Amino acid sequence: MNIYPVDIATQRDIRAVCAKIGTDPRALAYIAPKSRMLHFYADNVDYRAAGFLKQEMLSRGGDVAVTKHVIDGRAEKSDILIMGTQTQLRSLQEKLKAMDIWGLKEFREKLAGLMKGLAVSEWTISSPAGHTITLSMNTQLMAILNLTPDSFFEGSRVDEKGISLRAEECMNEGAYILDVGAESTRPGAERVSESEELARLIPALKVLRRDFPDAIISVDTYKPEVARAAAGEGADMINDVSGFTFCDGMPEVIAELKIPYVLSHITGTPETMREYEGHEDILRELAEYFTDKLAVLDEAGVSREQVIIDPGLGFGKNADDNFAVLKNIDSLRVWGRPVLVGHSRKRFTGTERLAGTLAVSALMAGRTSLLRVHDVKENAEALRIAEGISGACV
């Protein structure tokens, strides 16, 4: 007999191991939810609720970390860390259905929503151009094509004459989506007029759609009328780094066009965002931000099924902020939407930016739906190796 540890990080892992053992497939419905411990952080919880939750989770084999003064009653509120398997947390939710005191009803409803969001791992999004965008936890690449003379990475710059050649190269190397931008949003970049952006974008977009009728094309813009014009030329989605904060009217235009929309987090503007780097609690800020922004989109008539979440790495965040977001990237899945990460060659990836970019890509494999990158070939290889490791069976 040999006994040795195995790494069970996902339900796919437990299913693979059980298949090797020869477990009855009917048993997987009971085994899989027990394979992974989930962790949820909640702030400002009533001390009585905190104590109650701790006892309930302990009785189920889980636990809740609370401030030390919950026990002696000296704390009126406590942040908590709740730890348990899906099975334990669902059992807790059933118990809480009879508990409408101390804020436990709100806690139960929010926890149920978060767990429901985390359970979603496949998305099918239709574009007004007639294409279907299929996303999952098998990470795919979005290639960056910049129609700008001042984007921070010179290798991503193209013009109308060269865009088809570069697009074909990117798709052959493994890009699933082409992301075309006609205005730089690097730190310190000056804004360009709507007319100038359109003059750069529309001719190139016409060429791309002519040469690649089946390609999925995203347009990187924060201007509502540019988004409208891009959709008119066959763009499949809009990638708005501003979280619709730079211009009025983007939610209404997205609702009207019924076009997939990347909702990004940013603090400040390209001219000022470095002044906002260093957040006290970036994860809490992201949770509040996306909850509020999604509510605005809902109110404007944007279907939640159109939305992709992007934490906006580097946009008003320092290296520590970016690392915290990447380490906790799963927290962005609680809204039940695919997650896009745009880390490529950004300052926090270090002095050897391609190497740093590839390290991030490998760590994000299987944890995000899309990675927005400059170097498609190299990132595709990093994903292939990372996925080979994570998909290996014990």
Q: Please give the pLDDT value at position 273.
A: 74
Q: Which amino acid is at 104?
A: L
- Residue 178 burial (CB count, 10 A): 24
Query: What pLDDT score was predicted for residue 394?
Result: 62
Give pLDDT, residue 265: 96
* Burial (Cβ within 10 Å: 0-12, 13-18, ≥19) of residue 1: exposed
pLDDT for 155 equals: 59
Is residue 110 annotated as part of the catalytic site, yes or no?
A: no
Specify whether the CB–CB gap between 153 and 374 falls below 8 A.
yes
Residues 6+ apart with CB under 8 A from 176: 140, 141, 142, 216, 370
* Inter-residue contact 51 to 104 (CB < 8 Å): no
Delineate the domains of the chain, giving CATH numbers in brackets. Answer: 1-33 (no CATH), 37-118 (no CATH), 122-390 (3.20.20.20)
Taking 70 as the pLDDT cut, the residues of the chain under it are 1-5, 7, 150-156, 188-189, 393-394
Beta carbons within 8 Å of 255's beta carbon, 6+ residues apart = 297, 300, 301, 302
pLDDT score recorded for residue 34: 72
Looking at residue 16, its pLDDT comes to: 79
Residue 154's pLDDT is 61
Whether 346 sits among the annotated catalytic residues: the reply is yes
Q: Is 337 within 8 Å of 366 (Cβ atoms)?
A: no
pLDDT reported for residue 136? 97
Q: Please tell me which residue in 166, 337, 346, 367 is annotated as part of the active site.
A: 346
Token pair 């979280």 is found at 243
295-328 pLDDT tens trace: 999 999 999 999 999 999 999 899 999 999 999 9
CA-CA-CA-CA torsion sign (181, 368, 346, 162): negative
What is the predicted pLDDT for the residue at 152? 60
Give pLDDT, residue 151. Answer: 60
Q: Output the pLDDT for position 73.
A: 77
pTM: 0.90
- pLDDT of the residue at 4: 58
Alpha-carbon distance of 218 to 260, in angstroms, equals: 9
365's enclosing H/E stretch is: none
